[in-house]
Amino acid sequence: MRTPNLLLLIALFLGSCAENSKNAEYQSNLKIAQATLQAHIDGDYDTWLTFHHPDAAVWGAEYGSQKMLPAEAAEQFATHHIAFADIHTNNEVWLPGVDTLSLLADGSVRAYINWGSTSNTTGEEINLRAYHYFNFIDGKISQSGNFYDAGGLSATVQPTSTTLSITHEVEDFDRWAASWKDGSDNVKDFQEMGVTARIFQSTDEKQPEQVNILFDIADMEAWSAYQGTDEMRANAKMHGVIFDNIQVYQEK
C-alpha cells in the first residue's frame, strides 16, 4: 500500500521541480521582455536587437504583414518615433505563456499594454490597447508578435484633408495627363505642398479635352496662398490648362 503513495510523492516532487524551473525561466525571460519594451520606448534599437536571436521571427500588427527579421523590425519600429512623440505605457499586465498543446507553462511571456503618445502631425493624444507575445530559446527572443488596431493608429497621423473636384478643359489631354504621372516634377511640387491628385477624362468622344481632377489637400492655407499666383498660372499654362469655364466643387 505504501508503494503507490511513494510513487505519488515522487511524481509530485518532480512536478514541483519542473514547475519551479519553468517559473524561474519565466522570471528571467520576463526581465528580457520588459527590457525589450523599454528599449523600444527609448528608441534604442541597438539594445533592442541584443535581446533577439538574429533569425528570430517578428510579426507586426498591420493587415497582410509579413514575418520580419529583427533588423527589419527594428527599422520599421523606429518609424514610430518619427510619427509619435512621448511614447510611453499607461498600464502593463505581464503574464506567463503556456504551451498551446499541453497548456503547461513554457517560459514564454505575454503582455497586455496600454500605449500612450502624441501624433506629431495632428497633435492627437494616443491611447492604444495592445497584446504582445514573446517566445524564447536560450534566453533570447525567438519569436514575437503584436496585436492592436494598426489601421486606427495610422489614421491618427493623417491630417484631415479637404477634397476638391475641379472640371476644366485642356489643350491636349495626353500632354496634361503626363504632368500628373507619378514621379513627374508637377506631382512632386504638389506633394511638397501636401496635395495629391487623381485625374479623369470625359467619356464623350466629342470632348476628349474635358477633364476632371480630384485634389486631396492637407493644408488649405498653403493651397489658398498658391492660387492665383504667377507660379500657379505659369504651371497651368505649361501643361495646357484652359481657364475658361473652370468649375470647383468641395466635398461635404
- pLDDT for 1: 45
Q: For the CA atoms of 167, 172, 176, 177, what is the dihedral angle to 10 degrees? A: 90
Q: Which of the 8 DSSP states describes residue 100?
A: T
The band of 239, judged by pLDDT with boundaries at 50, 70 and 90, is very high
Q: Is 37 exposed, middle or buried (0-12, 13-18, 19+ CB in 10 A)?
A: buried
Q: At residue 14, does pLDDT exceed 80?
A: no
Residues 48 and 101 placed together within one structural domain of the fold: yes
What is the tens place of the pLDDT at every residue in 66-99? Answer: 999 999 999 999 999 998 999 999 999 999 998 8
- How far is the C-alpha of 93 from the C-alpha of 108, rounded, in Å? 14
**46 plus 124 within the same structural domain:** yes
Does 7 fall in a domain? Answer: no
The answer as to whether 203 is a domain residue is yes
pLDDT at 124 over 80: yes
Confidence of residue 15 (pLDDT cuts 50, 70, 90): very low
Judge contact between 118 and 125, C-beta under 8 A. yes
Same domain as 151, residue 168: no
| 110 touches 129 (CB < 8 A) | no
Confidence of residue 25 (pLDDT cuts 50, 70, 90): very high
Q: Is the Cβ–Cβ distance between 107 and 78 less than 8 Å?
A: no
The CA dihedral of 230, 234, 237, 238, to the nearest 10 degrees, is -170
**Triad 230, 250, 183: Cα angle to 5°:** 55
Residue 184: domain span: 162-250
| Average pLDDT for 146-161 | 84
Residues 125 and 242 in one domain: no
| Per-residue pLDDT at 20 | 53
Domain end: 155, 181, 208, which one? 155
What percentage of the chain has pLDDT greater than the value 70? 91
Indicate if 48 and 94 belong to the same structural domain.
yes
Q: Indicate whether 2 belongs to any domain.
A: no
- Region 214-240 average pLDDT: 91
Q: Supply the pLDDT for residue 4.
A: 56
User: Total domain count for the chain?
Assistant: 2
d(CA 189, CA 183): 10
Q: What percent of the chain has pLDDT over 90?
A: 69
pTM above 0.85, yes or no: no
Q: Which of 107, 134, 155 is the last residue of a domain?
A: 155
Residue 184 falls within a domain, yes or no?
yes
Residues 140, 57 within the same domain: yes
38 within 8 A of 45, measured Cβ to Cβ:
no
Q: What cell does 128 get?
A: 492604444
**155 or 236, greater pLDDT:** 236
How confident is the model at residue 21, as a pLDDT? 55
pLDDT higher than threshold 80 for residue 3 = no
pLDDT (0 to 100) of residue 63 = 86
Q: Are residues 35 and 149 in the same domain?
A: yes
Instruction: Please report which confidence band the pLDDT of residue 32 belongs to, taking 50, 70 and 90 as the band edges.
Output: very high
Answer whether 218's CB lies under 8 Å from 194's CB: yes
- Residues 129/93, Cβ–Cβ less than 8 Å: no
pLDDT at 17 over 60: no
- 148 lies in the same domain as 168: no
The CATH number of residue 66's host domain is 3.10.450.50
